[in-house]
């Protein structure tokens, strides 16, 4: 009877271990499914990262466009600087031409004053000769006629010189005015070119700012994707460690099941041998050994009964946590 009770206890213990092994297998199957789900999520994450890397490569292309835009902006600034220098040079030339024109006008005024002074002196001389006493009338008339002829000749010469000078002055004035108009037109064109260069520089500056903002957004997206991938890698490593822990628990449960099965077979064999071949003393000893085995089996069973629900609840909690983390990862 003791051997039969021990065998029944061993069978119950073996059934408990079989149930624990089945539960562990189910948990391993769920963990394998979670691993497959995690692999799919990892594949999706890699695809997302690949798209983000392609976007980052486009961001590098954007950097090339930004460099081209900056070079164009530098060229526009250089052109605006050249236009400013040309404008300043034309303004200096205009000022020089104005000074030359004013000098020519002053020279004309001085020449006209000299001519008027000479004419006034000659007229005064002629009038004084005409009003001289009668005794010197003949000499005075000859002198007056000669002086009048000389004055008329001088006056004609001065008028011709003045006319020629005025003609040359008018021609020079026309030439200077033409040059001045040309310089003014060049100055207006330079101002227009400067305005165009400034507007183009402002447009290129706005484009550079937009490209800088786009590049910053692309870099932030790349950093976010890298951080998300690192977080997913950490979650994957954690899940793998938990799966390995469950596999280790399964192997321990299998070893414990094999040990209890071996003890059960030994108890059955000892009971059969004592029943068929043993002496009364041997039966007493076998009964004592069987009692000790039954007590040890009962203690082991109580320990297993105490540990199995706790380990099962722990494994269930771990699997639920793994499922929650996988759900968060899939989101």
* Per-residue model confidence as pLDDT tens digits over 306-321: 444 455 566 666 666 6
Closest CA to 267 of 79, 1, 4: 4
Confidence of residue 89 (pLDDT cuts 50, 70, 90): confident
Which residues constitute the domain of residue 275?
Answer: 2-330
Alpha helices, H only, the chain: 2-130, 137-277, 280-330
Q: φ, ψ for residue 278 (rounded to 5)?
A: -85, 150
Q: Of residues 85 and 7, which shows the higher confidence score?
A: 85
The mean per-residue pLDDT over the stretch 175-200 comes to 81
Q: Do 287 and 313 meet the contact criterion of CB atoms below 8 Å apart? A: no
Confidence of residue 38 (pLDDT cuts 50, 70, 90): low
* Burial of 22: CB neighbours in 10 Å, binned 0-12, 13-18, 19+: exposed
User: Where is average pLDDT lowest: 160-174, 200-214, 275-289?
Assistant: 275-289
Longest dimension (CA), the chain: 208
Domain count along the chain:
1
The mean per-residue pLDDT over the stretch 27-31 comes to 65
Closest CA to 176 of 250, 67, 69, 103: 103
SS3 state of residue 331 = coil
Above pLDDT 70, what percent of the chain?
54
Other C-beta atoms lying within 10 Å of the C-beta of residue 247 = 14
Q: What confidence tens digit (pLDDT) does each residue in 248-286 have?
A: 887 888 888 888 888 877 887 777 767 665 544 444 444
Whether this prediction's pTM lies above 0.75 is answered by no
Other C-beta atoms lying within 10 Å of the C-beta of residue 235 = 18
Our measurement of the distance from residue 45's CA atom to the centroid of its chain's CA atoms, rounded to an integer in Å, reads 23
Per-residue pLDDT at 302: 46
């Amino acid at each position: 009877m003791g051997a039969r009770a021990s065998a029944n206890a061993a069978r119950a213990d073996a059934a408990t271990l079989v149930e624990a092994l089945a539960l562990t297998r189910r948990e391993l199957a769920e963990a394998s499914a979670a691993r497959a789900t995690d692999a799919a999520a990892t594949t999706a994450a890699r695809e997302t990262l690949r798209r983000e890397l392609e976007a980052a490569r486009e961001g590098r292309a954007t950097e090339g466009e930004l460099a081209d835009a900056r070079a164009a902006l530098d060229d526009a600034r250089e052109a605006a600087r050249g236009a400013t220098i040309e404008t300043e040079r034309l303004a200096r030339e205009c000022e020089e031409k104005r000074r030359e024109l004013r000098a020519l006008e002053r020279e004309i005024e001085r020449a006209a004053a000299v001519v008027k002074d000479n004419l006034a002196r000659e007229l005064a001389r002629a009038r004084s000769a005409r009003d001289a006493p009668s005794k010197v009338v003949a000499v005075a008339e000859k002198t007056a006629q000669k002086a009048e002829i000389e004055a008329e000749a001088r006056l004609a010469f001065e008028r011709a010189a003045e006319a020629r000078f005025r003609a040359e002055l008018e021609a020079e004035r026309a030439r200077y005015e033409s040059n001045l108009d040309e310089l003014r037109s060049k100055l207006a064109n330079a101002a227009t070119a400067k305005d165009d260069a400034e507007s183009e520089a402002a447009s290129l500056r706005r484009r550079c700012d937009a490209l800088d903002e786009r590049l910053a957004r692309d870099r932030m997206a790349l950093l976010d994707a890298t951080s998300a991938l690192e977080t997913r890698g950490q979650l994957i490593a954690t899940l793998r460690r938990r799966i390995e822990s469950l596999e280790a628990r399964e192997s321990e449960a299998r070893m414990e099941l094999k040990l209890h099965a071996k003890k059960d077979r030994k108890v059955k064999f000892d009971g059969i041998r004592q029943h068929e071949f043993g002496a009364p003393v041997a039966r007493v000893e076998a009964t004592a050994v069987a009692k000790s085995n039954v007590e040890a089996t009962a203690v082991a069973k109580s320990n297993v009964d105490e540990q199995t629900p706790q380990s099962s609840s722990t494994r269930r909690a771990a699997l639920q946590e793994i499922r929650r983390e996988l759900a968060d990862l899939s989101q």
